[in-house]
Structure 1
Amino acid sequence: MGSTTIGCDQRIAWLLTSARLLNPDPELARRDGFIKALADQGIKIDNSRISRWESGLHPVSGQVAATYEQALGLTEGSLVAVAAGLRRTFGNGPAPREGALRGADLTDGDMDRLLELIDEGKGTGAHWLRLVGQLGTYDRVYLRQQEWAALSARLVQELAVSVGVGFVRRYEAAAGLIRHPNAQRHLTRAIGGFVMNPDTQVVAPVLSLLTEIADEAAGDLVLRMLTSEDKNLRSAASSVAAVKVSRGHFGAHALPQLESHVVGSLRRGESLDGRLDSFDLAVQLPDESWERAMGGLRNRRAFDLVIGSRRGGELVPTQQTAAVVQRLSAAVQRDTPTHSPHENDAMLRRLLRESLLHAHKPRRHHAALLLAATPYAPAVAKHCQDLATHSNDLMAARALTVLMRVGHRMGRSRVLLQSLAETRPTIRARALVNLGLNPEPIKPAEADALLGHLDEHSRPVERHATMFALGMNGGTTLKKLAKSDTEWMARSATWWLDQGPALHDSDAALDQIGAQT
């Protein structure tokens, strides 16, 4: 699981290969047909170069991924953003050269139009990728202070509620922007202002941007959030801290606070699913730091789980879940249309296992995004919905989390049913989040049924997830709830009304502004 044999380049190569071989068009699935399609678009590529791209033996540039998108008729940025995320997070070699396929720079007029669209709230994730890609070609970019602030605030606000490929593209744009020396402090301020609002309902997707920089101020902000009274903020900060620890962003002065947080969290008798972010932090602590922390633990089961994950890299031992993952992989491959006889896809099985069970959140997250960007996604969604009813709380919760990444296409009714029928609070909360990510509006009767499940005994995680589902869908229900006598409900609904509903990018009318980044 932790092997570097199947590294970043091999994963990107698999992404391109599966996108081509499983494309609905049989001509594009054939290498000679793909070469012809490229030639029809003015791109002269020979068979040997495609072989090098799809072998994983040579790094693949972002422009090559963009070429595959163009030739295969895929959403702009759908492969580029996923490949960029993998290379940014796990790449440890030299960045690949773009070569002759690099598109032309954007003109001043193109840049003006991009900024206008984004300022008007009409920009998609593709627009953000183009803009940040262009800004990244310059070592220095001048904008007035208020322009940087407005641009950063807009991106953070959109990132919080964007869905699917729209989220992946915006996140990669934000990850590029926060590393730019002229933009970093402005985006960091926008992140801090957004997540520190006591009524903010979406924290983790925004706060995770702080993992991209080793800035001391960003680290201090994460440490402060670990002591917040807001459980959602503490949980998100734990996840970010785990990544920053793994990347060496914290100095020795931060370790005592991190150790104290881990001990306090793992002492509680919650399920592993309910404390997964703190568990991740415990797994990532340096050896000497973990030695000090484990002396304060009284929960033997938590201790054994952390020790097992630190050694094996998984949330649970392989032998306990190998059969489940094997069946899942076989079912996904069987239900994915192909133009040739099925051969066992070892990478598919590996990614399914990582997305469900890897001990480190970035590995789980990027494995799921990889699956979501391939033609396997519909079958992964279908069988994750089946797995979401598993009697094991952790497997059910992890299946629903993967479902958040890959989407559930035509399975919305099943998600709604589980949101209403599930009795396990943390599992039900994940079902509700999936419901909020679905583009189909929640009907008034459905909203009433969801709210009817809340009472004075409902756990905060269920309350928060219910408001997430309603908030992401918008609708008249929020206006009623904003006037509620229940304070937490009124404040949550008011925040959602101010924030606005989910962003589901539609690139049907995407302006042809310059070349793909």
Structure 2
Amino acid sequence: MRRPPLVSGGLVRRTGLAPTVGWLLRTNRVLSPITDLRRASRFAPAFGGGSWPHGPVSESRVSRWESGFTPVPHAAVRRYEELLLLPPNTLVAPLDNLYRYVAAAEPLRLTLCRDTLPDDPSEGLDNLLDLAVAAAPLTGGQWDDLTAALVADPRIRLVPSASWSTITDRLVAEMVMSDGVDWLQRHEALNRLLAHPVGCQAAIDSCASLARDRENQVFIETVCALEATGHPDAARHVFAQLRDPTHQRARVGALLAAMRKLTVGHFTEEQVADLVPLVVDLLADRDTAHLAAQLAAGLPLDRDRRYRQFLARHRTPVTTPPDTLSRQQTLAARIAYAASAEATHDQVLRADPILPVLVEDTLFHPSPDVRLYTRFLVAATPYRAALAAALANELGGGRLRHDPALAEAILDSLRILGDRRQQPLVERLAIADGVPTAVRVSAAHAVGHLGDGVARTVVEHAAARLAGPPDGTGGDRPVLEAIIYSLGINGRDDLLRELATDPRLPATARRSASWWLDRPAYVRRSASR
């Protein structure tokens, strides 16, 4: 099938990838707490050394990188991290994922060019492979090195062939339990293996196998990961979850994957035709109608006369109505100004024209992928804490009553941007009376990403509300399931054990808690490294 032009959306579509990357680097330098390095005239002379083996750089070269006129190599991004005392991979991980997403095709090469790989890619590979198959702890950085070496020389063959499955099974298992930069690195590592000429089959099978497991607790990203490869088996598994999903969240993941695969041309003409009646059915389902409408927007209206008028009525508008767009832009500008005023040390970035666009994309962009990658991009800057505080402030003032969709978008953003300072507010929302169920579910999912653990009182309150009918019906069931997810991400085994053995709870809730406890210990240890 002929591939339609890719519209990556968001800031990258409007300004280009290189200027976006340059903005990330410049923002981190100019807002760095290391005041001596805020000026390029002092930053450039210090650049030589560390991960940058190419000697000194000029001030003009730094300027070209940060303005987007010159591509930035991997070693330079690493050197920014070192000089600005950022944790390793703070900048590399989001850029690796962003580059690959914009590339669209499934490139085997590393799109954030590694110019410092060893001449022999197998150097050190054997040790990393031994760690991966021996159930030893692996960090996100080691997954990065392992998959970078495999991609650098696709002729490398693993013996026995089962090693591919061992590696990809473990990688997927760690990815669904990890968070933040740890998740980004494993997500990129999986994308690399999904593009590998040999490893792709094992990677597809690992995702599909976990998605078919009805006891699995993380469905969306497991199925959605299949968007990264054009292999026919990936499309087959996506269609299977659209037709007969293991879980409603698996169908959501399949819809997200289908949007991307349709955009980049992974589906054949016959598969696009098969997609039309499926989308029509999903448009009638309240739980999937919104995503199905977005998928319908990408379907050709001349595909099937029987559905043409129906699809035309339900296609999501390509453009946002002017009055809605104006309200969104006004809100984004207000949040961006509050964050900028808090984070900036002087007037240099006070009028940053990029930040309001990023805030707008973080909250309102129709593509879940664009929202996700934008949140990670902003989280990699000194704006992060101030932006999280400004977003949390917006949850007051009647937003929950008058605009629950915005409240959900803010809570989903706080999963990536927030920290323990927003945890008490989000915990209160998860169990509050009079708050829409969808908002409480978003809060319950977010709380596990904000601090060191979920408060016992929150768990007890949610469990008490659900205790009663053995079938676990009612609006509180998804809230408790989301809280169990947060406990799993946090590694709160004590509370998980209590829920797994609580006779008041429905069997589904007890099994959900048990699933997290049953994950291999080495997977759980590695997922947070």
Percent sequence identity over aligned pairs: 25
SS in 1 for 2:255: helix
2:497 to 464, 471, 479: 479
How far the C-alpha of 1:335 sits from its partner, in A, is: 1.4
Match of 2:355 in 1: 348
Instruction: Please give the alpha-carbon distance, in whole angstroms, between the structure 1 residues aligned to 2:228 and 2:16.
Output: 20
Matches within 5 A, 1:46-65: 46-65=58-77
What TM-score do you get using the length of structure 1 for normalisation? 0.87
Write the letter of the residue equivalent to 1:425: T
Match of 2:270 in 1: 253
Instruction: Please give the alpha-carbon distance, in whole angstroms, between the structure 1 residues aligned to 2:323 and 2:198.
Output: 43
How far the C-alpha of 1:162 sits from its partner, in A, is: 0.5
1:169 to 177, 185, 208: 185
Instruction: Please give the alpha-carbon distance, in whole angstroms, between the structure 1 residues aligned to 2:485 and 2:155.
Output: 39
2:209 to 184, 193, 212: 193
Instruction: Please give the alpha-carbon distance, in whole angstroms, between the structure 2 residues aligned to 1:99 and 1:475.
Output: 40
CA contact (8 A) 1:332 1:379 kept: yes
SS in 2 for 1:285: coil
Instruction: Please give the alpha-carbon distance, in whole angstroms, between the structure 2 residues aligned to 1:316 and 1:121.
Output: 55
Within the alignment, does 1:395 sit opposite 2:409 as a pair?
A: no
Structure 1's 175 and 328: CA in aligned 2 closer, same or farther, altered over 3 A?
same
Within the alignment, does 1:150 sit opposite 2:170 as a pair?
A: no
Task: Render the CA deviation track for 1:394-449: whole Å, top value 9, x for unaligned.
Answer: 11111111112223342211111111216211111111111122341234333212
SS in 1 for 2:266: coil
Structure 1's 292 and 214: CA in aligned 2 closer, same or farther, altered over 3 A?
farther
Match of 2:368 in 1: 361
Match of 2:87 in 1: 75
CA contact (8 A) 1:432 1:465 kept: yes
Match of 2:419 in 1: 408
CA contact (8 A) 1:62 1:83 kept: no
Structure 1's 471 and 275: CA in aligned 2 closer, same or farther, altered over 3 A?
farther
Segment drifting more, 408-417 vs 87-96 = 87-96
Segment drifting more, 28-37 vs 458-467 = 458-467
Instruction: Please give the alpha-carbon distance, in whole angstroms, between the structure 2 residues aligned to 1:504 and 1:385.
Output: 31
Match of 1:438 in 2: 450
Structure 1's 401 and 284: CA in aligned 2 closer, same or farther, altered over 3 A?
farther
Within the alignment, does 1:102 sit opposite 2:109 as a pair?
A: no
Matches within 5 A, 1:307-322: 307-308=316-317, 310-312=318-320, 317-322=324-329
Structure 1's 197 and 353: CA in aligned 2 closer, same or farther, altered over 3 A?
same
Task: Render the CA deviation track for 1:158-189: whole Å, top value 9, x for unaligned.
Answer: 10010011111111111112111121111111
How far the C-alpha of 1:256 sits from its partner, in A, is: 4.1
Match of 2:516 in 1: 496
Instruction: Please give the alpha-carbon distance, in whole angstroms, between the structure 1 residues aligned to 2:198 and 2:124.
Output: 21
Write the letter of the residue equivalent to 2:423: R
Segment drifting more, 29-38 vs 190-199 = 29-38
How far the C-alpha of 1:327 sits from its partner, in A, is: 0.7
Instruction: Please give the alpha-carbon distance, in whole angstroms, between the structure 2 residues aligned to 1:503 and 1:401.
Output: 25
Instruction: Please give the alpha-carbon distance, in whole angstroms, between the structure 2 residues aligned to 1:261 and 1:178.
Output: 26
Quick one: higher RCO (CA 8 Å, sep 6+), 1 or 2? 1
CA contact (8 A) 1:471 1:478 kept: yes
Match of 1:33 in 2: 42
Q: How large is the Cα RMSD of the aligned pairs?
A: 3.0
Segment drifting more, 376-385 vs 477-486 = 477-486
Match of 1:282 in 2: 296
Task: Render the CA deviation track for 1:34-85: whole Å, top value 9, x for unaligned.
Answer: 1232135464111121111111123222232222222222222221221122
Write the letter of the residue equivalent to 1:102: T
How far the C-alpha of 1:280 sits from its partner, in A, is: 2.9
How far the C-alpha of 1:381 sits from its partner, in A, is: 1.4
Structure 1's 265 and 387: CA in aligned 2 closer, same or farther, altered over 3 A?
farther
Within the alignment, does 1:214 sit opposite 2:222 as a pair?
A: no
Structure 1's 503 and 382: CA in aligned 2 closer, same or farther, altered over 3 A?
farther
Q: Which runs of 5+ in 2 are unaligned?
A: 1-8, 468-472
Matches within 5 A, 1:73-152: 73-91=85-103, 102-104=116-118, 110-118=124-132, 119-143=134-158, 144-152=160-168
Q: Which runs of 5+ in 1 are unaligned?
A: 508-517
Instruction: Please give the alpha-carbon distance, in whole angstroms, between the structure 1 residues aligned to 2:322 and 2:93.
Output: 27
CA contact (8 A) 2:46 2:56 kept: no
Write the letter of the residue equivalent to 1:124: T
Match of 1:386 in 2: 393
Aligned residues: 497
